[in-house]
A = this chain, B = another copy of it.
Amino acid sequence: MGGFFGVVSKDDCVADLFYGTDYHSHLGTSRGGMVVRIKEGFKRNIHDITNTPFRTKFGEDLPKYHGRMGLGVISDYEDQPLLVGSHHGRYAIVTIGRADNLDELAEACLSRDSTHFSELKGNEFNQTEVVAALINQQETLVDGLRHVHEKVKGSCSVLLLTDHAMYASRDRLGRTPIVLGRKDGAVAVTSETCALPNLDYEVARELGPAEIVKVTPDGVEQLSPPGEKMQICSFLWIYYGYPASNYEGINVEGARNRCGAALARADDVEVDYVAGIPDSGVGHAIGYASEAGVPYRRPFVKYTPTWPRSFMPQEQRVRDLVARMKLIPIREQIDGKRLLFCEDSIVRGTQLKDVIQRLFDFGAKEVHMRPACPPLVCSCKFLNFSRSRSELDLAGRKAISEIEGEGPADVTEYANPRTEAYSAMVERIRQRLGLTSLRYQTLGAMVEAIGIPRDKLCTYCWTGESLYEDE
């Protein structure tokens, strides 16, 4: 995923920039970057945050930064921000989202323009550099940012800092959020609203899909109006957004509580305790427990002091190790108990299978699982949060291939909970995971729990259908 945070202020913006960016650390595990407009140009640093978090890495650089405008980024892949010299002058730029047609875009630039890309990593183009090239193909920055909307398939939100102003451009269908925060003398532009309250910013408003604004110390100017179509990612609420964040005005924790409550209403199982798989299952479980009137408990406690992050490293082996080490079981809350767990979603299920086995090893009498969303049947191609995962590894897809045999399957039927195909798929998953019972949320209930119209939500992962043809 990744996330960005920018500040335009009448005073020094560095402390806000530092803490504001840090509050996006749950969105990435690879690179952190910061740039500030200083007297002599731009001061930039990029650090590897694989083993040491943003706050520690950048804390040392902090005293060297002074300036009134700056932007920061937590990045899962690219080195960012880039400093770009162009016919627009010099600017710093970060991007969030995924250009599905990145190579194609890059090659087109190279053949057309005798331009070059100098931020390669191994053999891969740097998405932000390619986006910069697209921007530079137009006369003005705004036209350039619109050009990005036209050309990029997938999603691409941009934050761009010139000598005099900051430009924010939300991706065409609003799959990722951009929020404006305001306090006296300063404006913040953020991916996560949870970055705002502790820095004393109020949410001013969210950008609409494809909206472009220019932020200066004097205020926010709309350069391009929002589009009407929206396909914001449902997973922001279900899984990777921070509980204290809001998108489209809707708080994550609240949505999760409602999701859990919906699961409870559709359920009739008798259990001793309700629990959540940390971190994102917790909000769902709390909602379930209070709706069902069953005690909420923590049979697993996460060891946060040194395993703080929940968004996973790219390497599967490390991911599995982290998964095992970070959760510590409490025998007293497991042994002899009928346990119901809420989980955000079941992706591959491998780690979950391990967790379930350990629960039985520690004496659990029953283990029931209630994912907060329907079975995943398609990999996301609009954002890069599951970039390294193969579609066929999805627990749902795996069950489908077992049922259907080799070859491409029509997933439509499996996406419909009223079919036998769906029941067979869920039963296979239940068996594979060794669960006492498994009941998924329905798409309708999930959409209702989130609370915005279904046609504004991207639900591709569960249906394999895009609302708009050009994707």
Contact with B along A184-201 (1 / 0, CB 8 A): 000000000010011000
Contact with B along A323-352 (1 / 0, CB 8 A): 011011111110000000000000000000
A330 engages B244 (CB within 8 Å): yes
A296 engages B297 (CB within 8 Å): no
Q: A65 in the interface, Cβ–Cβ < 8 Å?
A: no
Contacts of A52 in B (CB 8 A): 52, 56
Residue of B nearest to A120 (CB): B83
Contacts of A246 in B (CB 8 A): 332
Contacts of A121 in B (CB 8 A): 83
Number of copies: 4
CA of A286 to CA of B333 in the docked complex: distance in angstroms? Answer: 13
Q: A216 in the interface, Cβ–Cβ < 8 Å?
A: no
A119 engages B120 (CB within 8 Å): no
CA of A282 to CA of B278 in the docked complex: distance in angstroms? Answer: 14
Contacts of A116 in B (CB 8 A): 84-86, 115, 129, 132-133, 136
Nearest chain B CB to A292 CB, angstrom units: 11
Find residues 205-240 in chain A having any chain B CB closer than 8 Å to their own CB.
none
Contact check: which of B83, B106, B329 meets A197 at CB < 8 Å? B329
Q: A6 in the interface, Cβ–Cβ < 8 Å?
A: no
Contact check: which of B26, B40, B86, B197 meets A117 at CB < 8 Å? B86
Q: A123 in the interface, Cβ–Cβ < 8 Å?
A: yes
Q: Which of A250-258, A375-383, A453-461 contacts B (4 or more CB under 8 A)?
A: A250-258
B40 engages A194 (CB within 8 Å): no
Q: A306 in the interface, Cβ–Cβ < 8 Å?
A: yes
CA of A242 to CA of B328 in the docked complex: distance in angstroms? Answer: 10
Q: A304 in the interface, Cβ–Cβ < 8 Å?
A: yes
Nearest chain B CB to A197 CB, angstrom units: 6
Nearest chain B CB to A3 CB, angstrom units: 11
Contacts of A83 in B (CB 8 A): 118-121
Contact status of A122 and B329, CB under 8 A, knowing A25-B306, A303-B23: no
Q: A265 in the interface, Cβ–Cβ < 8 Å?
A: no
Contact status of A332 and B118, CB under 8 A, knowing A25-B305, A306-B55, A324-B198: no
CA of A19 to CA of B124 in the docked complex: distance in angstroms? Answer: 29
Contact with B along A43-57 (1 / 0, CB 8 A): 100000001111110
Contact with B along A288-316 (1 / 0, CB 8 A): 01100101111001011111111000000
A198 engages B85 (CB within 8 Å): no
CA of A286 to CA of B299 in the docked complex: distance in angstroms? Answer: 12
A43 engages B110 (CB within 8 Å): no
Contacts of A115 in B (CB 8 A): 86, 113-116, 133, 136
Contact check: which of B53, B118, B123, B325 meets A41 at CB < 8 Å? B123
CA of A23 to CA of B327 in the docked complex: distance in angstroms? Answer: 11
CA of A287 to CA of B31 in the docked complex: distance in angstroms? Answer: 40
A136 engages B114 (CB within 8 Å): yes
Contact status of A253 and B298, CB under 8 A, knowing A40-B123, A114-B115: yes
Nearest chain B CB to A196 CB, angstrom units: 9
CA of A40 to CA of B447 in the docked complex: distance in angstroms? Answer: 43
Contact status of A87 and B106, CB under 8 A, knowing A19-B325, A116-B133, A123-B41: no
* A contact set with B: CB distance below 8 Å: 19, 22-23, 25-26, 40-43, 51-56, 59, 82-87, 90, 106, 110-111, 113-125, 129, 132-133, 136-137, 194, 197-198, 242-244, 246, 251, 253-254, 257, 279, 282-283, 286, 289-290, 293, 295-298, 301, 303-310, 324-325, 327-333, 362
Would you mind naming 24 contact pairs between A and B with Cβ atoms under 8 Å apart?
A19-B325, A41-B123, A51-B59, A53-B306, A55-B307, A83-B121, A84-B118, A85-B118, A87-B111, A113-B115, A116-B132, A198-B325, A243-B330, A244-B301, A251-B332, A253-B332, A254-B332, A257-B297, A282-B298, A286-B295, A290-B295, A296-B296, A304-B309, A308-B308
